[in-house]
Every structure is written in C-alpha cells, then in structure tokens.
Amino acid sequence: MKRASSRSVTAHLTYGEDYFGPQGPYEVSEGWWSAAAPVVERLSEELGVPVVVLRLAEVAEGGGGHGGHVVYHVEALERPAGLVPRQAGPDTAALLGPAERRAGWATPAGLRESFDWAEQALDRAGRPATGRAEQIRTWNLSGLFRYRTATGGDAWLKATNPTFNAREGDVIALFGSVDPTLVPPVLGSDPERGRLLLDHVPGEDCWGPSAEEVADVVPRLVAAQAALAADGRAAAAGLRDRTLPTLVLQVNDVLDRLAADPGPELTAGELDAARALAARLPALVAQLAACGLPETLVHGDFHPGNWRSDGTRSVVVDYADSCLGHPALDGLRPRQYVDDERWAQAAEVWARAWREHVPGSSPERALELVEPLYHLAYAVRYQEFLDHIEASERPYHEGDPVSELRAALACADRV
C-alpha cells in the first residue's frame, strides 16, 4: 500500500479536568499517525499555548499506521485563553475517559511526571533544559521527546511500557560494556517506569544505508553479541526469553488463540498449514542449533532505520524489542529494508563476522533456516503489542500477527 504523505486531524482538547471541545479538522504534513510534531505545531499556533498529543483516540480510513482521518486526545500545558470549557457528550466522555492498559505517557499526570523526571535527570547530568520538551512521536509503543539543553546539545526522553518492553538502559549497558561506541550515551534511566534519557547521537538514520555503513555496523553488533554469549552475561541478564525452544511454545500459544477466535482474517486452510508448520519447528530448531551460533542478546529490530551515522561513526538505537534469542533473527532483519545489492552485502558481512567469532559455524545456513522462525517471532511480538495496548490504539497493529504468520507459511517450503 502506498504511504500517505498527510492526514487530517481532529483534536479533543483538555486542560486538566476541563474539556474544550474538538479542534479541527486540520490537514497536517506527515501521514504517520505517530508523528506528533506537526499536530503539536499546528494546534499550539492556533491556540497560543503549548500542547501535547496524549494518544490516538479514533481513526477512520487510512491503515498501516498512516493516512486517513485521525482523532487524538490533546492536552494543553497551559490554560487556553478565549476558550470556554464545555460538557463532553457521552460518546466523547467515553472516548477520553480511563481505559485498561493505557500507557503512562498517554495521561496528563503520567506525562508531566515523565517531564519532571527527565528535567531532574538533566540537572543532575549538568545539562539543564532550556525549555519545554518538544514532542516528536507518540504512539502505542512509545513517546519520544527532545530537550534543548544549556550546553548546546540535545537530549531525548523516551517513554515505553515496561510490561512488555526490554529495560533499554540495561540492554544499552550490556552492549556498551563490550563496545561503548555501538550504543547511545545514557543520561538517565528509570526502568520500573520505562523512562530513558539519552544524549543526542549526531548524524542521520540510515534508511538506504551505504556500503560503508553496512560494513561498519553489522560486524560490530556481531562482535558484541559473540562476546556477551561467550562470557555468559547475555543468558544471565534476565532478558525476555525468545530462545528457540521457548519461541516454539510461544508460537503454539498464538496459534491456539487464533484457532479459538480466528476472526475473518485467518482461513481454516491457513490455520491447518500453520499447525503443520508448527509441528516442523522442533526439527528446524535442531537444524539451526547445528549451525553452531550461540543464543545471545538480540537487538530485536535491527533494521537500518535504527542505525545512525554521521559518516564516520555508526550507532545502534531503539532496544525496546531486545531479548535473549538466536542472532540470525537480527541478521535477517535488514533484508526487507534494503535493495538486493545491499542485502547481499549485509548477509555476507554478517556471515563472515560470525565465522570469525565462531570458527566452524555455518551462519549462511542459519540465515536460510531462520526465515520462518523470524516471521513467527514477529507474530508473537505483535501479539504481545496487542495484548498490552488499550483498545483505541489497536489499529496500529491489528492483523499484524496474521500477516507474519502468512509470511512464515510463504517461505516454509524453502527450508
């Protein structure tokens, strides 16, 4: 599906307990629903007060996280002049009222607590903020905010849900203990509440990475993973368990749930085929184990958009999906984001690096064998998302587990 370059927006505006009615609809740039910055910019200009997008409340049309008409709950950070509070109707009150599994950064109190925590952390680091946090991105999985600091550099507040995400500060510390240049500098971490404060990493995200960027970042990740596997720290770190035998159990659990309530998305024939594939997984796991690569700390979303480079140094960011698992799950991740030439290079660089660290291993064969498990691991992960997000934000990932299941079926006959 072609990605939309814009979306229309309606914002239900609140300030504390006061409701000021719907604002808009407005047309804003950037089609992604999670792109909060253009919404905040437009509304702040219209209202004359700073605002933040708390969450997605409804979406009409669009799909895949972009386009269409999007309704947000927006909180003013100062009382808007010239607007009179009104009574919210029953439907609106239900839309804006409490809900199960709401993220901490999707409430006024939770967001203000996160800002207070980040600003105190910046003060302790000798990097006091020079203004309010600038909202960049907010969605069901995280909130991302930028601070300008008195030292001239930026800092980034990231909020995630700790019930189903990795403790990113701990993961960064693990990788950084092996290669400090691979990870972003941490200015503060509150893992119990899913808060992380990072120093700015210069450069650009590596969508469309160069050959030099692939040759730099891929073998450094492999080196760190090999070291953490060799000294046992990855296995002892209390990471979410996505090791292959456990993954097989998790896949079967998702299939059981789909069998109980397949909905309109999954046919009986697809479910039967998925069951047949699941029956093959123990043998596939044994073949992967025979390739000789150790289970280790896996980034979990190692696509080039999570690499940043300034042309001389590459850093890997976004560790929310990190887990203990098979490294080929990371090795295969770049393929769907790069062209054939760059993928051939990435696969060769990755395999060569693992052969250097584990002589006698068969990383090329591991990349071939892991493909169905790669898609099934994402089916499990997307189901985790759906299990832990509130109902209004399910459109971000509705149908993703089934899509990954179908992708696994499509490639299963090749292994």
Domains of the chain: 6-97 (3.90.79.10), 106-199 (3.30.200.20), 204-412 (3.90.1200.10)
Residue type (1 letter), 395: P
- Give CA–CA dist 81/225, Å, rounded: 55
> Do 30 and 6 touch, CB atoms closer than 8 A?
yes
Kindly indicate the confidence band of residue 64, based on its pLDDT and cuts at 50, 70 and 90: confident
Q: Decide if pLDDT at 1 tops 60.
A: no
Sorted by sequence, the CB contacts under 8 Å of residue 333 that are 6+ apart come out as 299, 301, 302, 303, 374
> Which tokens is 335 given?
């393929």
CA distance 121 to 99: 30
Distance CA(128)–CA(173), nearest Å, equals 23
Q: Which pairs from 339-345 meet CB under 8 Å and 24+ separation?
A: 342/209, 342/211, 342/214, 345/211, 345/214, 345/215
Q: Could you give the 3-state DSSP secondary structure of residue 7?
A: strand
Token pair recorded at residue 407: 């992708």
Q: Give every strand in the sheet of 323-325, ordered side by side.
A: 241-242, 323-325, 296-298
C-alpha to C-alpha distance for 289 and 293, rounded to whole angstroms: 7
Question: Residue 29 is inside which H or E element, if any?
Answer: strand 18-29
Query: What DSSP assignment string belongs to 134-188?
Result: EEEEE-SSEEEEEEEBTTS-EEEEEEE-TTTS--HHHHHHHHHHH-GGGSPPEEE
pTM (two decimals): 0.95
Query: Which strands make up the sheet holding 314-316, listed edge to edge?
Result: 204-205, 307-309, 314-316
Alpha helices in 13-85 (DSSP H): 37-47
Q: What angle do CA 329, 287, 220 make, to 5 degrees?
A: 35
In the structure, what pLDDT confidence band is assigned to residue 386 with cuts at 50, 70 and 90?
Answer: very high
Mean per-residue pLDDT over the chain, rounded: 95
Q: Residue 161, exposed/middle/buried by CB under 10 A (0-12, 13-18, 19+)?
A: buried
Report the SS3 class of residue 86. coil
Strand partners, 196: 158, 189
Query: What are the residues whose beta carbons fall under 8 Å from the beta carbon of 153, sequence distance 6 or more?
Result: 127, 199, 200
Higher model confidence: residue 193 or residue 313? 193
Name the band, by pLDDT with cuts 50, 70 and 90, for residue 260. Answer: confident
The DSSP code for 349 is H
- Tokens 């990097």 belong to 127
- For 310, other C-beta atoms within 10 Å of its C-beta total 11
Determine the pLDDT at residue 242.
Answer: 97
pLDDT (0 to 100) of residue 62 = 80
Nearest to 216 by CA among 298, 295, 308: 308
- Residue 2, pLDDT > 50, answer yes
**pLDDT tens-digit series, residues 200-247:** 999 999 999 999 999 999 999 999 999 999 999 999 999 999 999 999
From CA 278, how far away is CA 263, in angstroms rounded? 20
